[in-house]
Structure 1
Amino acid sequence: MNSIAKSVLQSVKHGRAPWLRNSSAHSGKQRFRRLVLGIETSCDDTGAAVVDESGCVLGEALHCQKEVHLQTGGIIPVVAQQLHRENIEQVVQEALRASGVSLAELAAVATTVKPGLALSLGVGLQYSLSLVNRHQKPFIPIHHMEAHALTIRLTHHLEFPFLVLLISGGHCLLAVAQGVSDFLLLGQSMDIAPGDMLDKVARRLSLRKHPECHSMAGGKAIEHLAQTGNQELLTFRLPMQQYRNCDFSFSGLQNLVNNAIVQKEKEEGIQEGEILSCVKDVAAAVQHAVTVHIIQRTYRAMLFCIKNSILPSKNATLVLSGGVASNQYIRKGLQNLADANDFALLCPPPRLCTDNGVMIAWNGIERLRAGLGVLHSTAGIRYEPRAPLGIDISKRVEEESIKVPKLKKIRWLAS
């Protein structure tokens, strides 16, 4: 183990999920339910879980690398890879012990193979292939974004189709889930993801030096400070207003924010690395701009889906997932948007919005039940750092040029 990892290595956290419906892994009919082990290493969290086909989470474990990457100011792929290597065996064994299930009892092993950091994906795939080949188990390769999208079906009884908004540190997309492994991609980020942007703004603002935020990840620090900031102090031009599609862009907005920070530093006579007196106002304005951009694109997706009968005109559902889904300001804005358009808004519990083994195991269950992508030979299986989700119909969305009604100043977001 390298010296950095030693100093910040966290103990593996495990335990039964709060929505567990049958706490005994070996009672009665439970013995005959198919069980899937899920393994997740797409970015910086090493996760594993055992889930049965009724949705019971029998055991899980997670090793989080957050403290390591907070120290270095961002995820360094080779460091993430090393930490996955050091912890994957312990995490998988901990999940199995917590579940009371042996490898022999598993129906399959499901593992994230796309998309994600290449070095991280490689660790999970190599370990999983060794496991399935040694124990002669079927292997289910998992698309990370599909797993995020379908997690809601573990926690809620939800039928297809439904609209999905996935927002995280590495991804941002809108899609319609029509079935397991059946998605229509309406739009996605053309550059960076919202979580990545918020983290970069937090670093530029040196929020780790702020007494209220020294132990917080960047996006969480922005959200915390924004609660007591004045979002109207700064106004940022919203991205892609000239394009009537469902794509997102956050890099241009980040540049505007950086320029505004430079200007404020000049006005206050401070150097980069020092804390602005108006830092809370900057955080509030940035969070607000990100939220309005997300809401506008989601609004267009709703209108497109209803117009084309892709979703029901009444009682349709918007599913929100991914790490940024835990931001309460963004969630409240989307809740108001959903309410105004007769959509239900559903979101998994916060701990299942971030990367974890449970969502991978559940996606494995969904695919096992549907008979999709269950491999009995792993020859030729590869990881894919970049991988689209479903059928891309974003051009069709743009061609329809749907105008989004004004959102009434958006002040209701903060109410």
Structure 2
Amino acid sequence: MFIPKQCSFLRLISKSYNRQIHGNSKRAIILGIETSCDDTGCGIVDTQGNLLGEALHSQHLTHLNNGGIIPPIAHDLHRQNIENVVQQALKSASLSLNEVDAIATTVKPGLPLSLIIGAKYGKYLCKKYHKPFIPVHHMEAHALTARMFDKSIEFPFLVLLISGGHCLLAVANSVDEFLLLGESIDDAPGEAFDKMARRLKIKNLPQYSTLSGGAAIELATSEATDFLDFAGIKAVFLRHIWRAEKKGIPPDGVMSGYQNLCASFLLTTTRHLCHRVQRGMEYLARKKLIPPDKQTLVVSGGVACNNFIAEGLQIVCENLNYKFIRPPPKFCTDNGIMIAWNGVERWNANIGVYKNFDDIEIASTSQLGQSVKEDVAAENISCKWVKLSSLAKPKVQIDSEQKSMTN
């Protein structure tokens, strides 16, 4: 049986001891700051899991009109808005910074020019108001957000994180212990959706003009009449677009048949994700890494807002006796609440709460936990794939919370 290095007996004893230091007897308030990409977010949560206040400044439309995120622009907008966002969150919570017990801030991974704004401002507040600093790993925060809304989620559990920049399948063993089963090789789903939507020029149609690529493709899928059979998903998709472009598409035009292309792309992406998750579940069963009575799949990240993908994953869960959980769509995308909640998790476990934090640096890349990808590959797991035939006729509705769903 594969035994992760992190799960040594001595470390488990240390974790248990540390958890007894803070305990849960005294309510604490944690303020979280998020600036890893293009959203400036602040959230305030207490150690009992109550959401006290929040504020968010989205740069979505700015970058949508620029054809993608431009880091220097994101940096400037974070710098212009971060103080106001924090003050708005405090006002919505009817709190002052003196009443906050600690400040949690995203420090990795993400765009360096974006991360630096949140990290510097978080440290500045900690020094000014004499508060401890809690550095947060962005993907760990996404992984644990569901525990704020569903207290039944216990460690260990399986988590799929899908967004514009990441696609990760991992086991969450504790607040800061993860086993990485697999991750995307090139584009993450959200990034692929954005690129495809831009090539299709569906932004030229009013109903798609303010939507992220993923949300636009999901909405177009609901209007489809048929599916194309894709293999080698992105390459085939691009060949279809290239052939249409050769016939000529005006700058303000849209490629004919885009709905069916979008539906096929979304179906193929969903099937691919479902197959990888199913293989991960088979691996966990073989290695006995999650007890049968704790089999839970948590799905988070911006692309988790996609109801079509969520439905496919739920079918897999039902067939393999897993409980399917995802946070509310608003909290799947980047936000300050998830950072504050990760701060709460760390505060309660007495892990990563610093009074001396000058040496803590940002990092643009950071692996989630310990990789067991080679061991997963060595198992050479063959599956009888769960059938997703009920997804053949998608019915999709996009609400306001799903418009920016790729971060």
Q: Same fold (TM over 0.5)?
A: yes
Contact 2:132 2:355 in 1 (8 A): yes
Q: SS at 2:342's partner residue?
A: helix
Q: 2:272 aligns with which of 293, 316, 338?
A: 293
Contact 2:64 2:212 in 1 (8 A): yes
The offset of 1:380, in angstroms, is 1.2
- For 2:252 and 2:289, how far apart are their aligned partners in 1? 49
Q: 2:105 aligns with which of 108, 111, 120?
A: 111
CA 156–341 in structure 1, closer or farther in 2 if over 3 Å, else same: same
Structure-1 residue corresponding to 2:201: 206
Structure-2 residue corresponding to 1:304: 283
Deviation track 1:6-40 (CA, whole Å, cap 9, x = no partner) reads xxxxxxxxxxxxxxxxxxxxxxxx99510001000
Contact 1:207 1:218 in 2 (8 A): no
The offset of 1:263, in angstroms, is 2.1
Structure-2 residue corresponding to 1:14: none
The answer to whether structure 1 residue 169 and structure 2 residue 164 are counterparts is yes
Contact 1:37 1:51 in 2 (8 A): yes
The offset of 1:228, in angstroms, is 1.8
Unaligned ranges ≥5, structure 1 = 1-29, 239-252
Contact 1:265 1:271 in 2 (8 A): no
Contact 2:295 2:323 in 1 (8 A): yes
Structure-1 residue corresponding to 2:223: 228
- Please give the residue correspondences for 1:15-26 in structure 2 after superposition, counting only pairs within 5 Å: none
CA 329–136 in structure 1, closer or farther in 2 if over 3 Å, else same: same
The answer to whether structure 1 residue 413 and structure 2 residue 391 are counterparts is yes
Task: State, as a whole percentage, how many aligned pairs show the same letter.
Answer: 47
Structure-1 residue corresponding to 2:239: 259
Structure-2 residue corresponding to 1:341: 320
- For 2:391 and 2:29, how far apart are their aligned partners in 1? 43
The answer to whether structure 1 residue 313 and structure 2 residue 292 are counterparts is yes
Q: SS at 2:224's partner residue?
A: coil
- Please give the residue correspondences for 1:15-414 in structure 2 after superposition, counting only pairs within 5 Å: 33-157=27-151, 158-232=153-227, 234-238=228-232, 253-266=233-246, 270=249, 274-314=253-293, 316-408=295-387, 410-414=388-392
Q: SS at 2:207's partner residue?
A: coil
- For 1:205 and 1:306, how far apart are their aligned partners in 2? 41
TM-score (norm 1): 0.86
Contact 1:265 1:272 in 2 (8 A): no
The offset of 1:272, in angstroms, is 7.1
Q: SS at 1:134's partner residue?
A: helix
The offset of 1:255, in angstroms, is 2.8
CA 74–344 in structure 1, closer or farther in 2 if over 3 Å, else same: same
Deviation track 1:342-394 (CA, whole Å, cap 9, x = no partner) reads 11100000000000000000100100110111111012111000000111001
Deviation track 1:233-291 (CA, whole Å, cap 9, x = no partner) reads x22215xxxxxxxxxxxxxx32321111112444x654676312211000101111111
The offset of 1:314, in angstroms, is 4.4
Contact 1:39 1:47 in 2 (8 A): yes
Query: How many residue pairs were aligned?
Result: 369
The offset of 1:210, in angstroms, is 2.0
Contact 1:230 1:285 in 2 (8 A): no
Contact 1:147 1:360 in 2 (8 A): yes
Deviation track 1:195-245 (CA, whole Å, cap 9, x = no partner) reads 00000000000011123212211111100011121452x22215xxxxxxx
TM-score (norm 2): 0.88
Q: SS at 2:343's partner residue?
A: helix
- For 1:254 and 1:383, how far apart are their aligned partners in 2? 32
Q: SS at 1:186's partner residue?
A: strand
Contact 2:319 2:386 in 1 (8 A): no
Contact 1:109 1:364 in 2 (8 A): yes
Contact 1:204 1:273 in 2 (8 A): no
Contact 1:225 1:283 in 2 (8 A): yes
CA 183–31 in structure 1, closer or farther in 2 if over 3 Å, else same: closer
Q: SS at 1:185's partner residue?
A: strand
- For 2:43 and 2:292, how far apart are their aligned partners in 1? 37
Contact 2:154 2:294 in 1 (8 A): no
Q: SS at 1:212's partner residue?
A: helix
